[in-house]
Structure 1
């Protein structure tokens, strides 16, 4: 299973990537939303894991583009340090499947990823 991880926090991105790879996933990491979106357009991923606030293009913009322009139903999990309820509601309105507040528990993230991917199999 191939995951794209778009997160501008280097430590979080690298630690989540390491954890997911240890669980058997292939992870492509990006610190910039524009680079991540370019990869999404050119690569078949099983899941998108994206932060909301990133340089270039935000996680919300990625979600909207994937749903509206690419017409894809690929599972999308949004990570954010924002505790604002409206942000969470907006992300679901755009088509996100899950919303996880930081700090991220790798174990909880893994359960949510497996839940989304098992629905698609």
Structure 2
């Protein structure tokens, strides 16, 4: 299973990538939203994990592009350090499948990824 991981926090990105790879996932990681979006446009992936605030292009803009321009239903989980409820509601409105507040628990993330992948393969 291929994951696109877009997170500008180096420590979080690398630790999540290491954890997910140890669980058998192939992770392509990006610190820049625009680079992540280029990878999404040019490659198939099974799930997208993105921080909401990214350099280049935000996680929200990335989600909108995937849903509207590419017309893909690839599961998307958005991360944020913002505890603002409206941000979470906006993420769901534009097509995000899930939303996680930082700090991210790798074990909880894994459960959510597996749930979305199972739902997407029905």
Band the TM-score falls in, shorter-chain normalisation: over 0.9
Aligned residues: 121
Shift of 1:120: 1.9
C-alpha deviations, 1:55-107, integer Å up to 9, x for none? 00000000000000000000000000010000000000000000000000000
- Unaligned segments of structure 2, at least 5 residues: none
TM-score (norm 1): 0.99
Mapping for residues 72-111 of structure 1, pairs under 5 Å: 72-111=72-111
C-alpha deviations, 1:27-64, integer Å up to 9, x for none? 00000000000000000000000000010000000000
Mapping for residues 7-46 of structure 1, pairs under 5 Å: 7-46=7-46
- Unaligned segments of structure 1, at least 5 residues: none
Q: Output the CA distance in 1 between the equivalents of 2:88 and 2:116.
A: 18
Q: Output the CA distance in 2 between the equivalents of 1:29 and 1:66.
A: 17
TM-score (norm 2): 0.98
Q: Output the CA distance in 2 between the equivalents of 1:120 and 1:53.
A: 26
Shift of 1:119: 1.1
Structure 1 segments of 4+ aligned residues over 6 angstroms from their partners: none
CA RMSD of aligned residues (A): 0.4
